[in-house]
Amino acid sequence: MRASAYAATVIAILLAAATARGANEARVDCIDTTSTAGRLTAITDQAIVLSGAEGKQTIARADTAQLVLAESKDLSRQPGRQVVVTAAGDELAAANVRVSDGKVRWESPLLGEVELPVASVRTLYLPAANQTVAAIRTHLTEMKLDAARDTLIVAKTADNWIAVEGVLKAVTADKISFRWKDSDRAIAADTVPAVRLAALETPAVPSAGTVLGVDGSSLAFRSLTFADDVFVVESPTMGRRTLDARKVAALRFRSDRVTDLGELTPTRVI
């Protein structure tokens, strides 16, 4: 009996040690294409600090392209996964999305409970259990949508989708309330795979980079620090947020020395 208890204790200690060694293991990829690996111990405005067998290594934030901690899921290909896209372009995994009193509320695996004004949200993706956001987006590319108005995407059948323009009033688990042609209407929530909200003109807010969640979420940040297994981010949309390191897959940093290809204007389209 004592031998069994001793063996169980040893195994528990070894497992705990292995877990501790694996905690916050990171790879830093630099702009010059070099990489450095180690345990993430700190991030400041100026540097990223890793520790390993050779001691501490400090990498300048200005030289860093990305920091990778874990795999990030493809948010658009998770069946049944609700997604909220903000006006700033953040894409956040969601559950229990609801709208009332001019606010959008949902539960985020990355952020916890979230509440934003309707004006700060661009699209609500509300797929059925066997449907993905990627499939919904494919349908939307084939539809002409008025960016100046709220639009319900109603799936009359699997292949027959229509756009109903008006003003979104509320979203619950069962129904979506909408003002259409001066009358309030209610539509069964399970027939609405997406809601496009009116695009309001908002000033562009520069960001220092993007947080990628293990759940597939992406969140822009103006500033970011790390200490004691916690990230503290200042988001243009979400304000100051504290993120558990276990929920963060990667950080991508913006740099004046690198231009994103998506930001370039092509001289010719073929």
37-91, pLDDT tens digit by residue? Answer: 999 999 999 999 999 888 999 999 999 999 999 999 999 999 999 999 999 999 9
* pLDDT given at position 18: 37
Mean pLDDT computed over 194-207 = 81
pLDDT band, very low/low/confident/very high, at 22 (cuts 50, 70, 90):
low
Cα 128 to Cα 192: distance, rounded to the nearest angstrom: 9
Cα 212 to Cα 219: distance, rounded to the nearest angstrom: 7
Radius of gyration of the chain (CA): 22
* pLDDT given at position 257: 56
* pLDDT given at position 258: 54
Global pTM?
0.85
SS3 65: strand
Asked whether the predicted pLDDT for residue 111 surpasses 90, the reply is: yes
**Taking the C-alpha atoms of 252, 229, 107 and 99 in order, what is their torsion angle to the nearest 10 degrees?**
-60
Cα 158 to Cα 92: distance, rounded to the nearest angstrom: 25
pLDDT band, very low/low/confident/very high, at 176 (cuts 50, 70, 90):
very high
Q: Specify the residue for token string 């001289």.
A: 267
Residue-wise pLDDT for 114-152, tens only, equals 999 999 999 999 999 999 999 999 989 888 887 888 898
Cα 67 to Cα 63: distance, rounded to the nearest angstrom: 11
Residue-wise pLDDT for 203-240, tens only, equals 677 899 999 999 999 999 999 999 999 999 999 999 99
pLDDT band, very low/low/confident/very high, at 23 (cuts 50, 70, 90):
confident
DSSP H/E element including 117: strand 112-117
